[in-house]
Structure 1
Amino acid sequence: MAVKERSGKSMSQNHARRTGDGELAEVVVSVELSRKTWLITSLSPGAGEKLSRHTVPGGDLAGLLERLGRLRQKARARTGQEFPITVIQEAGLDGFWVHRVLQAEGHESHVVDAASIATSRRLRRIKTDRLDGESLIRALLAFKRGEPRVCSMLRVPSPAEEDRRRIARERKVLMQERIQHSNRIKGLLFSQGITGYDPLKRDRRERLEALRTGDGCDLPHHLKRQVERELDRLELLLDQIKAVEGERDTMLAEERQSSREVAVLSNVVGVGPEFAAVLWSEGLYRHFDNRRQVAAYAGLAPTPWQSGSIDREQGIGKSGNPRLRATLLEMSWLWLRHQPASALSRWFNTRVAQNGGRFKKVMITALARKLVVALWKYVTAGVVIEGAVVRA
């Protein structure tokens, strides 16, 4: 997930180019990406407020670049001047490859978080690619003027940073599949009155041969064959998990040699290889200006609802990185076990005790928010977490 950047930052660098009489001095283009077609909406100098629209087949990068070249030629023919091109697109399934190609061609390109663009709050609002293209043009113009909080532009990661996250994400998918196969085997055997069989143990094949149903009979032939095939898939998953974990450990070893931040993060007791890989590759390698940005990116920022005398809390926003948030929540429970003397653990235990032992799930979210901020300060500024145990 790419970090979001509000339009209020670096306004002097984001002002829309305009001539002395207020006319646009650049070609503004929005691209609506889909599998079938790409809709190109543009606003050019000398064309007034008229928007032009063209479509190219989905994935036709050459057609897109040719259309951008034609827009520049038409603007030059109308005004006699050469204009740069600025392109905006929504973040989606296409990833960032189109954005990188546009930048390599010398165009200014922006990727926007679609959920950050203001829309109509009517119960039934109209949504078409045509209207979305217009809204992207308006959002880009407002962003270039420096209007605050008009939209959230993404800080696109480099190809190396994007690829580095694959290891932790692939392991999570494999672990989920492992759980599914293990539970399926247990369910099949439970239907025959068999309990206590663990398919993750090394003697799973030998124990399967010795199993008897609840009424003392052998396993039915086809059921046994199905369980054996499930074990084949499970063993393949175990081998792949082992291979992925080996790649993860190698990557972390290389990062420790080249990055002080990874080294100090791995030295904290309670932060194992998997936690270190997820924390670093999903979030802490990025630059944040303050703790609010850290909590917001992790999806742990509060969501207040205030209007007049109404003031209530709607819970955390969950609009950040879901993988980082889930890892931090899991890590918070383990933090209480491995770091009981830390200030964060003492704070959690005190607050839970004040509520009579209730609201643990609510307080663990608050602990996760404090923990990610503390780790960010420790990694970037060297601020030691009070009471935390660190390996030599």
Structure 2
Amino acid sequence: MRGWIAPRLLPKWWCYQPSTLEGLMAVITRSPDCTGTIRTDLGAIFVSLELSRSTWLVTSLSPGGGEKMSRHQVDGGDLAGLLERFATLRRKAEARTGRRFPVIVVQEAGLDGFWIHRALEAEGIESHVVDPASIAMPRRRRRTKTDRIDGEMLVRTLLAFKRGEPRVCAMVKAPTPEHEDRRPLVRERQELTAERVRAVNRIKGLLFAQGIRDYRPLRRDRRQRLAELRGGDGRALGPHLQAQLARLLERLELLLEQLKALLAALKALAAEAQAAAAGTDAAVMARLLEIKGIGLGFASVLFTEGLFRPFANRRQVAAYAGLAPTPWRSGTIDYEQGVSKAGNPRLRATLIQLALAVAAPSAADRTQPLVPRPGQAERRPLQKVMITALARKLLVAVWKYVTQGVDIEGMAMTTA
């Protein structure tokens, strides 16, 4: 039989070697006392969830069921139906083996966020959220992809993760509801700022086509000046154009009011951080505001997008921001591909802006041009490499300051 080894060739505590990952489940129920570097005593029901708007595909592997995975569908958003499916899996596994097993669930991070993960943990179910980009995939030119295949691959990944195999995947650390509630403040402000820029450019573009170049939509007297405008040929603006500009100004004024409200909310968040006790996550933002050159905008992005999370070392910090290096080394080939860009794009963009602000004074005083390394000019400009490296160093230095109290060399503190 495929996957079996003669018993006389093996120790007494190990009667056969399974040929697949699913076959390991049979070993789990028979030899719970096996010890080794990688755990094999994982008596549990392993479940993966493939989530979509209409249906949830539940793929499970249960003890006593051999190597066969079962698949069931639940209506999208039906949490009660999902819990009932888990209860059915428990009853069937208990009927086959005479033992009760816990349920371990895995799902990919995506559109559904973390509410399912929190609901499962509230029910006492072990739940994991995996980064889908960290799962090893076949390298065929045209690989097959279906929900069934993805569900089975998630179960295999969960099995390997629970056995303790190193670097099999990257599990996402779910933020707390409080952290998720703070994050929209910064993101919505960035979105509204981009909409404000588009509205201003649209107004200026319409007036430029009439020969008007000096109109400023952000001034307080914008409506009074709009009524007094004359085109480049001396004619008054047409009624339809004036109506369109009036509607655009209404949208712009609404955006300005919303931006003002968001700024007040950010100031309240900063005041709350100032009053927070030392050692709490809210105190991180207060420490950021102590650094001269980091204002409310930079501090709010750094705090809500990254530094509220715990990191074990500086490599994790750089990787989370997408500033980790990605070398390509094989034999005689030694090539640096640049930063990974696999992390938080908002945090990375803010750090690049901060690095440009820090490097601007020194760049203005520099008299000697930068001399690129051999072959550097053909690959990418050296200035971009230096700014990216500076952004990474700034992030690591700021992280050490706010979490460990390590002073930044040459750092100036703001006045009270």
1:268 paired with 2:294, answer no
Q: TM-score, normalised by structure 2?
A: 0.85
Q: Which residue does the alignment assign to 1:26?
A: 44
| Residue ranges of structure 1 left out of the alignment (5+ in a row) | 1-15
Q: Distance in 2 between matches of 1:74 and 1:349?
A: 74
Query: What SS class does the counterpart of residue 127 from structure 2 fall into?
Result: strand
Asked if structure 2 preserves the Cα contact closer than 8 Å seen for 1:300 and 1:365, the reply is: yes
Alignment deviations for residues 48-74 of structure 1 (CA, whole Å, 9 cap, x no partner): 111000001111111111100100000
Matched letter for residue 209 of structure 1: A
Q: Distance in 1 between matches of 2:261 and 2:169?
A: 41
Alignment of 1:1-392 (within 5 A): 18-21=28-31, 25-258=43-276, 259-337=282-360, 340=361, 353-355=370-372, 359-392=382-415
Root-mean-square deviation (CA), in Å?
A: 2.1
Q: TM-score, normalised by structure 1?
A: 0.90
Query: What SS class does the counterpart of residue 270 from structure 1 fall into?
Result: coil
Q: Percent identity?
A: 60
Cα distance, 1:381 vs structure 2: 1.4
Q: Distance in 1 between matches of 2:131 and 2:366?
A: 38
Matched letter for residue 147 of structure 1: E
Cα distance, 1:93 vs structure 2: 0.3
Q: Distance in 1 between matches of 2:319 and 2:370?
A: 28
Q: Which residue does the alignment assign to 2:11?
A: none
Q: Distance in 1 between matches of 2:158 and 2:62?
A: 13
Query: What SS class does the counterpart of residue 151 from structure 1 fall into?
Result: coil
Asked if structure 2 preserves the Cα contact closer than 8 Å seen for 1:352 and 1:363, the reply is: no
Q: Distance in 1 between matches of 2:116 and 2:367?
A: 51
Cα distance, 1:270 vs structure 2: 1.1
Range with bigger deviation, 264-273 or 27-36: 264-273
Q: Distance in 2 between matches of 1:43 and 1:350?
A: 67
- For this pair of structures, how many residues does the alignment match? 370
Query: What SS class does the counterpart of residue 355 from structure 2 fall into?
Result: helix
Asked if structure 2 preserves the Cα contact closer than 8 Å seen for 1:352 and 1:359, the reply is: no
- Structure showing greater radius of gyration is 2
Higher relative contact order (CA 8 A, sep 6+): 1
Asked if structure 1 preserves the Cα contact closer than 8 Å seen for 2:129 and 2:171, the reply is: yes
Q: Distance in 2 between matches of 1:321 and 1:383?
A: 24
Alignment deviations for residues 244-285 of structure 1 (CA, whole Å, 9 cap, x no partner): 010011011101211443222101111010111111111112
| Residue ranges of structure 2 left out of the alignment (5+ in a row) | 1-24, 33-40, 277-281
